[in-house]
Amino acid sequence: MTDTAPRPTLEAVAARAGVSRATVSRVVNGSHGVRERLAERVRRAVEELGYVPNQAARSLVTKRHDAIAVIVAEPETRVFADPFFARQLRGISKELTAHDNQLVLLLTEDRDDHVRVGRYVAGGHVDGALVFSLHIDDPLPELIRQAGLPTVYGGRPDFGGGQDGVVYVDSDNRGGARDAVRHLLGLGRSRIAHITGALDQTAAVDRLDGFRDVMADADPRLVVEGDFTPASGERAMRELLDRRPGPDAVFAGNDLMAAGALRVLREHGRRVPDDVAVVGFDDMLPIAEQTDPPLTTVRQDIEEMGRLMARLLLRDLNGTGTPSEAAGAGSGGLVLPTTLIRRASA
Amino acid sequence: MTDTAPRPTLEAVAARAGVSRATVSRVVNGSHGVRERLAERVRRAVEELGYVPNQAARSLVTKRHDAIAVIVAEPETRVFADPFFARQLRGISKELTAHDNQLVLLLTEDRDDHVRVGRYVAGGHVDGALVFSLHIDDPLPELIRQAGLPTVYGGRPDFGGGQDGVVYVDSDNRGGARDAVRHLLGLGRSRIAHITGALDQTAAVDRLDGFRDVMADADPRLVVEGDFTPASGERAMRELLDRRPGPDAVFAGNDLMAAGALRVLREHGRRVPDDVAVVGFDDMLPIAEQTDPPLTTVRQDIEEMGRLMARLLLRDLNGTGTPSEAAGAGSGGLVLPTTLIRRASA
């Protein structure tokens, strides 16, 4: 099936580029100290000849694969349906590409597949791992820990007892939620409902905690669990409209659920924000601007979170500080601020 | 950063599951001949102990990584923006998961990164590759060929001279395009325009050929090049509306461009299908049903294409026929039929 012609050698590349073998080797192995003009000539010769460095030999010298596993602990269908993941991956991809590291996205169908993912990352195919959208009790972190791989998490992991040296990047979910609810109180609303995300994820738990910080005496029937999907926002909003008395405001745990809630309110002839004010979370564009009415929401910089995750990991791999040092002494978490964005819905 | 506790051994798993070491080994290495009840007990013990098999040792025995690279020759932003890719990946993911193979998606920012991708797949991290959305002159196929990796392509590759043993799965793009144009002729349309996909991709070229098969004498100003994105469909439709006389029908090279064209026609107060009939390609749901009016289009089974690609590759790896044998003697291509789906737009 494959016609295995002899591979071009390092020597052939050197001859073509008119440089020494050592220079080619340095460029191919990503060492510094080669003038850009020469490096460019080598890269052109590499491409023209279709030279593929012997990875095994190269790895022996550098002990690196220049490849980073990215593991989204969600089924592949959700990864492509929820723009949150695309945005975080974009940040990761830009940062890894800028450092000539290959992004290796390990897709799964369900949680049973996480054992296979653990086996792959333990198999010496990548230098480190970026893991996000963990659910509580997910076996993945333990498998990765046993593989001894440098790892940075997206979102605060919940390992039950907590572990030293765990590094993560997160948004200020609790503070952002407090801002959202205080904004609704400031509009004179009193029966404020909350549609939560999937409560086996810390982002959802933290946003619920923020809601409760402000609404300590909230009617518990005004808190309905969703799962971050638009359909769950619709379902939760229908439940909330059955309550007597009903809510005069809704804080949804993300924009996709808020968009679902807005659709149901419109179906039922409720005016937004007059009858029911709605606030989301994420500031997922263009969705947040295209809802009817446009959505007031809590902005988090999702792409920047991805970029930071990659940056912390690469710093660790390059020996310029462990991720936990880079993330700040005494803390494994780098927590980014959120901002309330006012549009028409609240 | 990582607490490297001693890894649990094969023996520990055997003790926990109450089976022999050989039984654990067979289950872990995916061999047959272990009763399901025992295999289940082993899998539970593996998960409870967080056992990770020694991949290097395992690979020495099986010479397999049980991992397949999937390379979409598009920037990461397009992979997530165009549902075509999610659908093809879904088919691939289901098939690989069913055979306990890890899907390793190699993301890139642009074509310059393809050399790095070639290096990764040549580095002994995967057993084979599935490659789709190639553009003409892409260096990737040559890099993969040199790596000697079994490969199946999604969409007919264009290697200039053609190569023996190249295996691909495609849809009948040319036949589907002919059906679309004949349908428009059957509606009594005479000034039929075509918005093409990116003409550095064979799918776009083949659909244009199908259009020309039927419209040999078409006004060349009624063919406008797009690039498969909704924005290019809008731009192309605006150009077509500037023509005198304008088109009374449009065949768009995919549904996303058709949806863009419909938006522009509405903006300009043209009635669809009365003034201008529109046909797309893909039958991408829910988009094709949710346009205004719903879209008449050429259906191709994108998920099935993904599944078939994975199946042909796994068959080759398992020694039950090379992909080219599996794809049918005398041909490296498996070409799936298309179907015209009639809705309101034409």
User: Contact at 8 Å (CB) between A183 and A340?
Assistant: yes
Instruction: Examine the pLDDT at A56 and tell me if it is beyond 60.
Output: no
Q: What separation in angstroms does the CA of B132 have from each of A134, A209, A260, B138, B328?
A: 30, 45, 34, 11, 20
Which residue do the tokens 């039922």 mark? Answer: A268
Instruction: Examine the pLDDT at A330 and tell me if it is beyond 80.
Output: no
Instruction: Examine the pLDDT at B147 and tell me if it is beyond 90.
Output: no
Q: How many angstroms away from the CA of B150 is the closest CA of chain A?
A: 7
Question: Which of B28, B42, B52 best probes binding to A when mutated, by most A CB atoms within 10 angstroms?
Answer: B52
* Residue A63 confidence (pLDDT): 67
Q: Which residues of B touch A66 (CB under 8 A)?
A: 116
* Residue A48 confidence (pLDDT): 79
Cβ pair A3:B103 closer than 8 A: no
Question: Which of A92, A96, A107 best probes binding to B when mutated, by most B CB atoms within 10 angstroms?
Answer: A107
**CATH level 3 topology of A173-300:** Rossmann fold (3.40.50)
**DSSP per-residue letters across A113-146:** GHHHHHHHHHTTS-SEEEEES--TT-SHHHHHHH
Q: Which residues of A touch B115 (CB under 8 A)?
A: 43, 46-47
Q: Which CATH architecture has domain B67-171+303-336?
A: 3-Layer(aba) Sandwich (3.40)
Q: Which chain B residue has its CA at the smallest distance from A85's CA?
A: B80
User: Contact at 8 Å (CB) between A102 and B98?
Assistant: no
Domain ranges of chain A: 10-62, 67-171+303-338, 173-300
Average pLDDT over residues B133-143: 86
Instruction: Report chain B's mean pLDDT, rounded to a whole number.
Output: 88
Cβ pair A123:B76 closer than 8 A: no
* Residue B329 confidence (pLDDT): 38
The residue that leads in pLDDT, B3 or A144, is A144
- At residue A331 the predicted structure's pLDDT band, cuts being 50, 70 and 90, is very low
- At residue B2 the predicted structure's pLDDT band, cuts being 50, 70 and 90, is very low
Instruction: Report chain A's mean pLDDT, rounded to a whole number.
Output: 88
Instruction: Examine the pLDDT at A298 and tell me if it is beyond 60.
Output: yes
Query: What digits encode the pLDDT tens for the residues A217-254?
Result: 989 999 999 999 999 999 999 999 999 889 999 999 99
Cβ pair B65:A113 closer than 8 A: no
**CB nearest to A123's CB, from B1, B65, B80:** B65
Instruction: Examine the pLDDT at A7 and tell me if it is beyond 50.
Output: yes
Question: Predicted ipTM?
Answer: 0.76
Do A67-171+303-338 and A173-300 agree at the fold level? Answer: yes
Instruction: Examine the pLDDT at A2 and tell me if it is beyond 50.
Output: no
The residue that leads in pLDDT, A35 or B121, is B121
Query: What digits encode the pLDDT tens for the residues A157-190?
Result: 887 545 667 899 999 999 999 999 999 999 999 9
Which residue do the tokens 């191709």 mark? Answer: B300
Q: What separation in angstroms does the CA of A249 have from each of A191, A203, A213?
A: 6, 21, 17
Question: Which of A71, A146, A303, A316 best probes binding to B when mutated, by most B CB atoms within 10 angstroms?
Answer: A146
* Residue B29 confidence (pLDDT): 64
Q: Which residues of B touch A165 (CB under 8 A)?
A: 1-3
For the domain made up of B173-301, the CATH class stated in words is alpha beta
Instruction: Examine the pLDDT at A199 and tell me if it is beyond 90.
Output: yes
The residue that leads in pLDDT, A78 or B197, is B197
Cβ pair A97:B113 closer than 8 A: yes
Where are the alpha helices (H) located in chain B, listed in sequence order?
Answer: 10-17, 21-28, 36-49, 55-62, 76-81, 83-98, 114-122, 140-147, 173-186, 202-214, 230-241, 255-267, 287-290, 302-317, 323-326
**b vs e for B193-220, b when ≥16 Cβ sit within 10 Å of the residue's Cβ?**
bbbbbbbebbbbbbbbebbbebbeebee
* Residue A119 confidence (pLDDT): 87
* Residue A13 confidence (pLDDT): 85
Q: Which chain B residue has its CA at the smallest distance from A152's CA?
A: B1
The lowest-confidence range among A80-94, B68-82, B214-228, B313-327 is B313-327
Instruction: Examine the pLDDT at B164 and tell me if it is beyond 60.
Output: yes
Q: Which residues of B touch A118 (CB under 8 A)?
A: 50, 52
Cβ pair A1:B324 closer than 8 A: yes
* Residue B236 confidence (pLDDT): 98
Q: Which chain B residue has its CA at the smallest distance from A143's CA?
A: B50
Instruction: Examine the pLDDT at A337 and tell me if it is beyond 90.
Output: yes
Query: What digits encode the pLDDT tens for the residues B67-106?
Result: 999 999 888 888 988 999 999 999 999 999 999 999 999 9
**CB nearest to A56's CB, from B53, B90, B124:** B124
Q: Which residues of A touch B316 (CB under 8 A)?
A: 1
* Residue A1 confidence (pLDDT): 39
Query: What digits encode the pLDDT tens for the residues B245-291?
Result: 899 999 999 999 999 999 999 999 999 999 999 999 999 999 999 99
Q: Which residues of B touch A145 (CB under 8 A)?
A: 2-3, 5
**CATH level 3 topology of A67-171+303-338:** Rossmann fold (3.40.50)
Cβ pair B52:A3 closer than 8 A: no
For the domain made up of A10-62, the CATH class stated in words is mainly alpha
